[in-house]
Amino acid sequence: MTDEERAGIEAALDQDEAEELLGVIIDIALAADDRAWAEACLLRLAEHPHIDVRGNALMAFAQVSSRLGEVDRARVAPVLAAGLEDDAAHVREQAEASLDELGWNRLDGE
């Protein structure tokens, strides 16, 4: 991912337009080359008020992990746990799917 692409993603995060953020999540999941940066972006998006943005960000953790190595469990597990309790079914389903893809059967660190 070029510096220009990364700057574009960061600008989209600041603009906070839900429809654009849905594309940004895909860009992060499929093109980011810095796991810590990708995680930070997805952690921010995982708290977004838009259901699809929030849910899709949760699933993107698994994609980032499969491409760049395991995500930081201490940072990501609490967000996925919160997703499992979300009011929106889509978010709960995405959190569960991400946990399955990550191979995390438990969220307590064991």
pLDDT for 52-79, tens place per residue? 999 999 999 999 999 999 999 999 999 9
pLDDT for 17-41, tens place per residue? 999 999 999 999 999 999 999 999 9
Report, as an integer, the average pLDDT of 8-14.
97
Cα end-to-end distance, the chain, whole Å:
33
**Alpha-carbon distance 13 to 50, whole Å?**
13
> Would the pTM of this model clear 0.85, i.e. be above it?
yes
Determine what percent of the chain is predicted with pLDDT higher than 90. Answer: 93
Position 110 confidence tier, pLDDT thresholds 50, 70, 90: very low
